[in-house]
Structures are given as structure tokens and as C-alpha cells.
Amino acid sequence: EADIYQTPRYLVIGTGKKITLECSQTMGHDKMYWYQQDPGMELHLIHYSYGVNSTEKGDLSSESTVSRIRTEHFPLTLESARPSHTSQYLCASSEYGAGTGEETQYFGPGTRLLVL
């Protein structure tokens, strides 16, 4: 399993503030992902990265941005938070199974964001 860390776990912030959600993994995985999960429970991919200096937008349009300067670190930034950004944000990294070439995504504990 991967060790994936997300900070903060909970964040309450006012409209217009800039925020960065941190995600780190210690397993050296090349692929990392950000998902957004609204109270209705469904998860949507908003960003992914296949390695250092690689970032792509996911299926759900998001005003957030990401960067991947180091393999282990994949932070997500909102330049100006709004109430519509209130959600849970889950970070994941994926590992290839030895001998199978199949990937499994492992998730961090999530950050619950509330924008007032």
C-alpha cells in the first residue's frame, strides 16, 4: 500500500482567500491524482500527473491548479476560494503490480474544505 498524506484535514476559510491543499506520498509513485467529492458522494477526477512537470486536467472542470515539481509532492491551489469550492478533495497515487502491469490507486485521507 502507498503512504499518502494530505494536509490540512479540515479547512474553513473565507471567500477570496488563496489556499493550497498539500498531498505527499512516500512510495515514489509516478502517477498522482486529485478527486473532488461533493456531499452527494460521487467522486470526479479534476487533475492528474504522470510524473514531474506533467499535469493534466481531469473530467470535471475545476478552477484549481496543480503543480508537480517533485515526485512525492502534488499540491492543489485555489487562487480565490468561493463557496462553490466547498467539497472534499481526495489525493491518490498509483502503483503498478509487480508482474501484472496493472495499476491500483491508493488514496489519502482527504481534505474537507468549507468556504464561507
Q: Applying CB under 8 A, which residues contact another protein?
A: 1, 31, 33, 40-45, 48, 58-59, 88, 90, 92, 94, 96, 101-110, 112
Nearer to another protein, 42 or 63 (CB): 42
Shortest CB 78 distance to another protein, Å: 19
Kindly report the backbone phi and psi dihedral angles of residue 82, in degrees, each rounded to the nearest multiple of 5, phi listed first: -130, 160
Report the C-alpha gap between 14 and 81 in whole angstroms.
Answer: 7
Residue closer to another protein (CB basis): 65 or 106: 106
Measured from the CB atom, the residue of 1 and 14 that comes closer to another protein is 1
Closest CB to another protein among residues 17, 107: 107
User: What's the gap between Cα 42 and its chain centre?
Assistant: 15
b/e sequence 78-112, b meaning 16+ C-beta within 10 Å:
beebeeebbbbbbbbbbbeeeeeeeeebbebebbe
User: Least separation, in Å, of the C-beta of 16 and another protein?
Assistant: 26
Q: What is the dihedral of CA 67, 68, 69, 70, to 10 degrees?
A: 140
Provide the minimum distance between the beta carbon of 31 and another protein in the complex, in angstroms, as a whole number: 6
